[in-house]
Amino acid sequence: MQLTVRYFAGARAAAGRAEETAPAGRSLDELLDELTERHGERLAVVLKAASFLVDGLACHDRQAPLPAGATVDVLPPFAGG
């Protein structure tokens, strides 16, 4: 089973794509490790400062398994107003 990862702003630029899929059932921290392996240090820097939504809700438990079919939004800090 899969989940969808959506990248916004600087995260999109660092990943080189707007969206991709990843296996479900692992924690957010495990997912972030995989994404860093896929895309390298540039994305790793963004992920360290980013916020994450899982199906539109802020993710507070980074060790909880991510469900199949979930959407994880990667939101880097935004500037401006």
pLDDT confidence bin for 37, thresholds 50/70/90: very high
Q: Is the pLDDT of residue 78 over 80?
A: no
Q: Is the pLDDT of residue 36 over 90?
A: yes
pLDDT at 80: 55
Instruction: Tally Cβ neighbours within 10 Å of residue 70.
Output: 17
* CA distances in angstroms from 3 to 6, 25, 28, 30, 74, listed in the order given: 10, 9, 11, 13, 13
Q: Is the pLDDT of residue 81 over 60?
A: no
- For the chain, the residue count is 81
Average pLDDT over residues 42-65: 95
CA distance 73 to 5: 6
Question: Would the pTM count as exceeding 0.75?
Answer: yes
Residue 62, both tokens: 């980074």
Cβ-contact 36, 74 below 8 angstroms = no
